[in-house]
Amino acid sequence: MILNNPYFPPELKRLIQSLGQLPGIGPKTARRLAFYIMEMPVEQSRVLAQTIENVKEKLKPCPLCAFPVETNQCPFCSNHRRHPEQICIVEKAQDIINIENTGIYQGHYHSLGGLISPLDGIDLASLRYRELLLRLEQNHFQEAIIALNPTTEGEATSLTLSMELKQRGLRTMRISLGLPMGTEIEFADALTLSRALSGRVEL
């Protein structure tokens, strides 16, 4: 509707379209943000554009856990004081921060970069699973804590992953207590998440 509006200049439509592609931004919010950007002081908009460009140019995922870094290794993988026997597997890099914020986990992390979704043709091999196997070969992890969202895809991924990891001799745990069905780790508060971590159960 908004994009078909003949009164909007093409550049403004393009901005609305770009903003509307962001997660959680519907057409109305995209329009509101586009007008806000259009009306902000030019210097502020330059800083915004430059910041976005810098993030894209300077940041890359840590080759091990996928947490965004400017250098070669992230603060988690390069910290030798972290427990070398534990690895916590999450769906996306920002989940690492939430688990870290609970303050009760001291092991290593690995982001899969997604979840298994048979309908979309996504299996373990489409995720960062090869990278995980490589890390298991090169390290002495004994316990894998699977911290995936309790959704259908999250459950399917947890089960497949735990079977695969058990075959490789790992003790496989999953976070459990405190996370209601449908809750996203990204939005869980620290207390709920720390209870879920403490109450992890063997898979």
Residues that bind Zn ion (CB under 5 A): 62, 64-65, 67, 74, 77
Query: Which CB sits closer to Zn ion, 31 or 108?
Result: 108
Provide, rounded to whole angstroms, the least separation between the CB of residue 107 and Zn ion.
12
Query: Which CB sits closer to Zn ion, 15 or 109?
Result: 109
**Contact in structure between 8 and 16 (CB atoms under 8 Å):** yes
**Contact in structure between 31 and 16 (CB atoms under 8 Å):** yes
- Residues 6 or more apart whose CB falls under 8 angstroms from that of 28 comprise 2
**Contact in structure between 90 and 148 (CB atoms under 8 Å):** yes
Distance from chain centroid for Cα 97: 9
Provide, rounded to whole angstroms, the least separation between the CB of residue 5 and Zn ion.
45
Query: Which CB sits closer to Zn ion, 31 or 110?
Result: 110
Query: Which CB sits closer to Zn ion, 34 or 66?
Result: 66
Residues across the chain: 203
DSSP state of 169: T
Provide, rounded to whole angstroms, the least separation between the CB of residue 128 and Zn ion.
11
Q: Which amino acid is at 150?
A: P
3-class secondary structure, 173: strand
Provide, rounded to whole angstroms, the least separation between the CB of residue 185 and Zn ion.
18
Query: Which CB sits closer to Zn ion, 30 or 141?
Result: 141
Provide, rounded to whole angstroms, the least separation between the CB of residue 68 and Zn ion.
10
CA distance linking residue 149 with residue 68, whole number of Å: 21
Query: Which CB sits closer to Zn ion, 67 or 141?
Result: 67
Tokens for 114, please give them.
């997604």
Provide, rounded to whole angstroms, the least separation between the CB of residue 67 and Zn ion.
5
3-class secondary structure, 89: strand
